[in-house]
Chain A
């Protein structure tokens, strides 16, 4: 079941990498980076999954279950959800940095083609 999520995350990551490597339009390259980033969100949330588990919210443990038993398995992994939460915000900020650089580059060079920006070569 959850294997599909892993495969999807891997595929998205590779699609993102292919976009970054093969595209010449800078906006598309930024989109590829964002795609790679979102594939990690999917991976993190999928990693947190446990079979038959509930969300990690402690109200009262179901009858006859102690807190330790609850913690030992029947919930999704809260640590990975935490990673995902912070990664999303950082991802947005990183995308803003990329886009700001792209806009400045486009204003300066009057083109979005990365193949023509060769001044940093060598």
Chain B
């Protein structure tokens, strides 16, 4: 019975049938690719084929020459070390492009004219957005702008450190326990009042519907009635106590596991998976505790120099091999006995720098995408609906610094 109603409910759920773009040609191309792949795969070596020469070579030299019992690591950082060297900078190029694309407007030293060009382009491509009696922006857009500005202000207040984070967490407890009247206000100092104004009508509506069974937190932060672009619920940190405690415990274990994977490079592991696991720690804490919990470490001003220092160390390791031993990535470090942390010499050093590169790189990339905010074109000066807002915005632009960004 319950099943049937669920199915009926699903059937009545509104959904859009998305039109495809030339599905027949796409199907034809996919089928052709499948044919090519199958023909290609027929020529692959089977499961009984001997290992290729480079694999055999790596297996043979791993223990005698590098004193390392893990041939995969020996290949990643030794035999094919130059390949990994290139991959490091491929990764870095990707990170730099993400950071560049995601970065918000920065103070300019000279006239570039991009704002005027952007306005003109917008006027051509979206003429409707520029109609409507004197106002250059719609009501929804100005609300979204206002919400982003409020968040930027709150971030400026939230940078005070441990104290702010502590009260923020307490406020989160209050929200979870259902106390919708006193929440969140402890988190901010000066901006709490603005916050009340912004969300007052929402809270009021929650109280006015006593018959509804929706949890107050959901009602307030996750309701479909909240317009798009209104301020993010993230500051409330509305995860339950269970999730937050579990995430703290798991983060420690995950961090130790990451370091262990890299430190014991003579067993399966190494810098790449360790770095991915370490960036997982930052994501886990962010998801469970909110941005304030990680904001001291996860900010471009901290991570980007670390990433660059890691890249410099990679280059130095490679070049020193060339200087001291005559070839790039040659081992110039003393080799410790097999199955110790330092066994592998250069391999281990390379692996540790990869840990730094991958961990900071992935964290920068993910948080850069998460922190992308709308790069608003300022309202046209002659059609400003709210002059007070415009004034705030001008001030905000003057003190806009790259580290003011926030996921």
**A-B interface contact total, Cβ < 8 Å:** 184
Q: Are B95 and A93 in contact (CB under 8 A)?
A: yes
Q: Are B20 and A10 in contact (CB under 8 A)?
A: no
Closest partner residue, chain A, to B37 (CB atom): A10
Instruction: Name the B residues within 8 Å of A67 (CB-CB).
Output: 59-60, 63
Indicate the member of A11, A96, A99 with the most B CB atoms within 10 Å.
Answer: A96
Q: How far is the CB of A61 from chain B (nearest CB, A)?
A: 10
Give the size of the chain B interface in residues (CB under 8 angstroms). Answer: 71
Q: How far is the CB of B364 from chain A (nearest CB, A)?
A: 9
Indicate the member of A7, A90, A97 with the most B CB atoms within 10 Å.
Answer: A97
Decide yes or no whether B272 CB sits under 8 A from chain A: yes
Instruction: Name the B residues within 8 Å of A68 (CB-CB).
Output: 60
Instruction: Name the B residues within 8 Å of A13 (CB-CB).
Output: 33-34, 37
Decide yes or no whether A31 CB sits under 8 A from chain B: no
Decide yes or no whether B47 CB sits under 8 A from chain A: yes
Decide yes or no whether B265 CB sits under 8 A from chain A: no
Instruction: Name the B residues within 8 Å of A114 (CB-CB).
Output: 21
With A57-B69, A85-B76, A100-B372 as given contacts, are A14 and B34 in contact (CB-CB < 8 Å)? Answer: yes
With A21-B30, A51-B47, A110-B126 as given contacts, are A78 and B72 in contact (CB-CB < 8 Å)? Answer: yes
Q: Are A10 and B19 in contact (CB under 8 A)?
A: no
Q: Which of B36-52 contact A (CB under 8 A)?
A: 37-38, 41, 44-45, 47-52
Q: Are B69 and A21 in contact (CB under 8 A)?
A: no
Task: For the complex, give the distance between the alpha carbons of A23 and B94 in Å.
Answer: 25
Q: Are A79 and B58 in contact (CB under 8 A)?
A: yes
Decide yes or no whether B358 CB sits under 8 A from chain A: yes
Task: For the complex, give the distance between the alpha carbons of A47 and B126 in Å.
Answer: 51
Instruction: Name the B residues within 8 Å of A99 (CB-CB).
Output: 369
Type the 1/0 row for A37-66, where 1 means its CB is closer than 8 Å to any CB of B.
000000000010111000111110000000
Decide yes or no whether B368 CB sits under 8 A from chain A: yes
Instruction: Name the B residues within 8 Å of A107 (CB-CB).
Output: 372, 374-375
Q: Which of B185-225 contact A (CB under 8 A)?
A: none
| Cross-interface CB contact of A104 among B60, B84, B101, cutoff 8 Å | B101
Q: Are A82 and B75 in contact (CB under 8 A)?
A: yes
Indicate the member of A10, A50, A79, A99 with the most B CB atoms within 10 Å.
Answer: A79
Task: For the complex, give the distance between the alpha carbons of A58 and B231 in Å.
Answer: 56
Task: For the complex, give the distance between the alpha carbons of A110 and B275 in Å.
Answer: 35
With A24-B21, A55-B268, A97-B94 as given contacts, are A78 and B58 in contact (CB-CB < 8 Å)? Answer: yes
Q: How far is the CB of A111 from chain B (nearest CB, A)?
A: 10
Decide yes or no whether B184 CB sits under 8 A from chain A: no
With A18-B27, A85-B270 as given contacts, are A96 and B21 in contact (CB-CB < 8 Å)? Answer: no
Instruction: Name the A residues within 8 Å of B8 (CB-CB).
Output: none
With A82-B80, A101-B101, A103-B372 as given contacts, are A89 and B18 in contact (CB-CB < 8 Å)? Answer: no
Chain A interface residue bracket vs B = 35 or more
Decide yes or no whether B54 CB sits under 8 A from chain A: yes
Instruction: Name the A residues within 8 Å of B37 (CB-CB).
Output: 9-10, 13-14
Q: Are A79 and B44 in contact (CB under 8 A)?
A: no
Q: Are B71 and A94 in contact (CB under 8 A)?
A: no
Task: For the complex, give the distance between the alpha carbons of A15 and B268 in Å.
Answer: 32
Task: For the complex, give the distance between the alpha carbons of A75 and B33 in Å.
Answer: 32
| Cross-interface CB contact of B362 among A11, A89, A110, cutoff 8 Å | A89
Closest partner residue, chain A, to B365 (CB atom): A96
With A50-B48, A89-B272, A89-B275 as given contacts, are A14 and B63 in contact (CB-CB < 8 Å)? Answer: no
Q: Are A58 and B34 in contact (CB under 8 A)?
A: no
Task: For the complex, give the distance between the alpha carbons of A15 and B27 in Å.
Answer: 9
Q: How far is the CB of B108 from chain A (nearest CB, A)?
A: 19
Which 3 residue pairs of A and B lie closest in terms of their CB atoms, listed nearest first? A71-B59, A21-B26, A93-B94
**What are 29 A-B residue pairs whose CB atoms fall within 8 Å in the complex?**
A6-B41, A13-B33, A17-B29, A21-B21, A51-B48, A57-B70, A57-B71, A58-B62, A58-B71, A73-B50, A78-B75, A79-B52, A81-B72, A82-B75, A85-B72, A86-B87, A92-B276, A92-B365, A93-B91, A93-B95, A94-B94, A96-B94, A96-B362, A96-B365, A96-B369, A97-B98, A97-B365, A100-B369, A119-B125
Given A18-B30, A79-B52, A89-B275; 11 other pairs, CB 8 A cutoff: A7-B38, A23-B18, A23-B21, A57-B267, A57-B268, A58-B59, A58-B70, A67-B63, A75-B59, A78-B72, A97-B94
- Interface of A with B (CB < 8 Å)? 1-2, 6-7, 9-11, 13-15, 17-18, 21-25, 47, 49-51, 55-59, 67-68, 70-73, 75, 77-79, 81-82, 85-86, 88-90, 92-94, 96-97, 99-101, 103-104, 107, 109-110, 114-115, 119
